[in-house]
Structure 1
Amino acid sequence: MVFAAVFAGSELFSHFTGRVAFFGGFPFTRFRLECQLQAYALTIGLYVSAISFIVLAVFAWQLLHLISQQLVFTAKTVQLFVALKWSCVGIQLGALTMLPGIYLVADRTDAPGVMAMGLIFYAVWLFMTVFFAILQRLWATAVAFKHVSNDSE
């Protein structure tokens, strides 16, 4: 979030008119409406990604707590993998929402690497989502196998 405040107050956004207006506590310059919409999309994407990341950190902490208690192969672990997967999806949606604003920055500064970094950020969380989906299915199978083997004994 500090990055968003520093980024919005940077030379890029104040270049257009030199004036900074505050809408909802976040600084934007007064320039064309389409640029403002992209700046809003960037802001919303940052907030969605940050909130989803905090939720992801809480669920990961709960998963580590279950591991330390040696309760790894339980239904609660599978539920945590589902929650981790959906938290990654939330970060993905935030990154997808930020892409128009990142495109604005890449276009105005003539730096195509900025757009590539935004796409890489999206791709990393896409990979993490697929990874957690695979882990969820594997863990559900392992829990079911453990449950069946415990019943047969």
Structure 2
Amino acid sequence: MKRRGSTLFLKIVVFLLAVPILGMCIFLLPKIASEAANSDWEPAKYVYPILVVMYASAIPFFIALYQALRLLSYIDKNKAFSDLSVKALRIIKFCGVAISVFYVAAMPFFYLIGEKDDAPGVILIGMVLTFAPVVIAVFAAVLQKLLKEAIDIKSENDLTV
């Protein structure tokens, strides 16, 4: 019963991660696009590719959150050491890499905005948005490898009994 409490907490955390990003996609990004369209600010034309990347990166983000929820449900069902868990971690890893690739593609636009507006913080934000998913992808890859090894050891032990 204690495990379900901790997985419930983690499911709530996953939900709390999804809500602000969904709100940003629905409310904040269209507002930024309309303000960029109506402004005389010279780098405003570079905002649109970044917005496209932000919308595109939301798709693998939500896929990764869904896989995290599936992984937590596998834990609830005592199927944590299964190939389903390994598959969920693999998908999370690929989603992290995909998000990073999107933001690497957008880095020239972050650079152009930072250069035109003389704001090096914009480039730093682009770098954080690029490297944070890489960290998550590496963490998921390590967990995937450890879980696969644990499953192999478990199957060997089941065969020796």
TM-score by length of 1: 0.78
Instruction: Summarize the alignment of residues 2-151 of structure 1 with structure 2, pairs less than 5 Å apart.
Output: 2-10=27-35, 14-16=39-41, 36=45, 38-151=46-159
Q: Tell me which structure has the larger Cα radius of gyration.
A: 1
Are 1:78 and 1:136, in contact at CA under 8 Å, matched by a contact in 2? yes
- Native 8 Å contact 2:36 2:47 kept in 1: no
The share of aligned pairs that are identical, in percent, is: 25
Q: Which amino acid aligns with 1:58?
A: Y
Q: Which moved more, 1:2-11 or 1:116-125?
A: 2-11
TM-score for the superposition, normalised by structure 2? 0.75
Displacement after TM superposition at 1:126 (Å): 1.0
User: Would you say how many aligned residue pairs link Structure 1 and Structure 2?
Assistant: 136
Q: 1:13 to 1:147 in 2, by over 3 A?
A: farther
How far off is 1:48 after superposition? 1.8
Q: Distance in 2 between matches of 1:130 and 1:61?
A: 19
> Cα distance, 1:67 vs. partner?
0.8
Contact 2:33 2:48 in 1 (8 A): no
Residue segments in structure 2 that go unaligned for 5+ positions in a row: 1-24
Structure with more helix by fraction: 2
> Structure 1 residues 4 and 105 mapped into 2: Cα distance closer, same or farther (>3 Å)?
farther
Quick one: distance in 1 between partners of 2:123 and 2:37?
Answer: 15
Shift of 1:104: 2.9
CA RMSD across the alignment: 2.2
Q: Which structure features the higher share of strand residues? A: 1
